[in-house]
Amino acid sequence: MVQNDFWLTSGWHLLDHNNDGHLVPTEDFMRAYFYRPEVAPIEESCEAEIELHKRLVDKPFDIVDKKELNSIRDKDVIFNYEVILKFRDFLSKYPTLDSAYLSIARGQAIDFPPLFVDQMVQIILRNILNQSPYALQVRASEIFFRTQVVTIAEDEIMVADEATVQFQAEKKSTKANDPKQLEVDIDILRESSADNYWGRSDKFDTSIDLAYTKPGLDALARVIEKWVHHFLSIEVSIKPMQKIEDEKWSWHLGLDSDSNNILNDLYNGIDVADERLKQILCLFQLDAEDGFVQEMNGKPVYVGLAMNDSSKIKFKPQNILTNLPLLDTS
* Dihedral sign (CA 29, 35, 37, 38): positive
Q: CA 103 → CA 99, 107, 143, 228, 321, distances in Å? A: 6, 6, 21, 15, 11
pLDDT surpasses 70 at 57: yes
Per-residue pLDDT at 124: 98
Residue 1 confidence class, pLDDT cut points 50, 70, 90: very low
CA distances 309 to 10, 14, 149, Å, are: 30, 39, 11
Mean pLDDT of 242-259: 97
At 95, the amino acid letter reads P
Query: 151: which strand partners?
Result: 158
**Considering the entire predicted model, what is its pTM?**
0.95
Q: Rounded to whole angstroms, how far apart are CA atoms 78 and 92?
A: 21
pLDDT confidence of 50, banded at 50, 70, 90? very high
Task: Name the residue ranges covered by the structural domains of the chain.
Answer: 12-128, 138-322
Q: First CA to last CA across the chain, in angstroms? A: 43
CB-CB contact of 8 with 202 (8 Å)? yes
Length of the chain: 330
Q: Average model confidence (pLDDT) for the chain?
A: 94
pLDDT class of 180 with cuts at 50, 70, 90: low
